[in-house]
Amino acid sequence: MGVPHSKMDDCTSPAMKGLRNHHLSCCVNTLLQTFSATRELTDILDKWKPSGRTADKHSLPLQLKTVLSAMRSDDPHSVSHHGFLYCLDRNYIRLNVQHDADEVFLSILNLMQQQIGDTALALEIQELYKISVQTQLECLECSFNQTQTSFMLSLPLHIKEDDNSLESCMTSFFEHQELKGRNCCYCKQCGSKTPSKQGVKLLSLPPILRVHLKRFRNNSGYARKIDCKVTFPETFDFTEIVKEAFSSDFTQNDCTYTLYAVLVHSGGAMYGHYTAFVRHRANQRWHYANDSHVQQASWEEVMATYGGYNRSTAYMLMYRRGSEAGGPQPDLSG
């Protein structure tokens, strides 16, 4: 999504560079700010040596590598990301169209994997965000269990139309759900559709945990935005927040995550504008990026995106595993 905003002078913090809003590009601009702050991703792209078709100007990984390098350079001139935007346009992420940040993020990851031309590096990029899970389905009539292993590239959290916290949303996500009536599932042992109980267990957590707060809802063809409050901490330990979420095969020791980017949406379901709060990779200070305008910010300003009626609201949270990102260690109660 994106709307033209009031004209402002280019203002670039010494720590971060802004990006002009070009053909309603605020959605992409905020994603580029989070990619730039994700040193694990930029390290992978830095060691990638494009050649042949991957060195073509229409290669999305090459265009992303180029713009992220420019955003981190000491060059005082503004960053041009037209090449990246037009490359997205060729891949059906159109200019002059309002987009959803979650959908564009996943599209960029998929396009990088398809076009990078290096299987090992493509796998590395996927592993950055890969949440491995085991879905368990238990028949409520014969207790027969079926399990299936899969993965997600984000944690999509449903928001209740009330005050929420990251902890409560995660707890709801991992709670068992009963499937009855038209939602009954086929049981191999019973040989028919029966009432079931379904749950999800974690097999592994990624270096970068992307949390998608599902604020947009479709009711009978009518899209609307859920503005309800969702509190989230700067740091948290997954094992303390959702103790029942882990499979018996889960073996990771470090499950502490530190927030380093928040994508913010203002407006309604059919229109709006994206901005971002990003913790700079070098000095660890929070910055607020509104297209070409960048300024230092505080944790209190980040907390103002928890939500509420007619307010700018956090839509996507980016957490890094480990507490090395620095900054204050607040109370997890939100």
Structure tokens at 207: 């270096």
**Which residues, including other chains, have CB under 8 Å from residue 83's CB and lie 6 or more apart?**
57, 63, 66, 67
Single out the catalytic residue among 26, 27, 139, 228.
26
Instruction: State the CB neighbour count (10 A cutoff) for residue 292.
Output: 21
CA 98, CA 72: separation in Å to the nearest integer?
27
Cβ-proximal residues to 262 (8 Å cutoff; 6+ apart), any chain: 276, 277, 278, 302, 305, 314, 316, 317, 318
- Side-chain half-sphere exposure of 238, counting CA atoms within 13 A: 29
Residue 154: half-sphere exposure toward Cβ, Cα within 13 Å: 20
Q: Choose, from 265, 273, 280, 287, the residue flagged as catalytic.
A: 273
Give catalytic status of residue 5 as yes or no.
no
Query: Annotated catalytic, 169?
Result: no
Active site residues: 26, 273
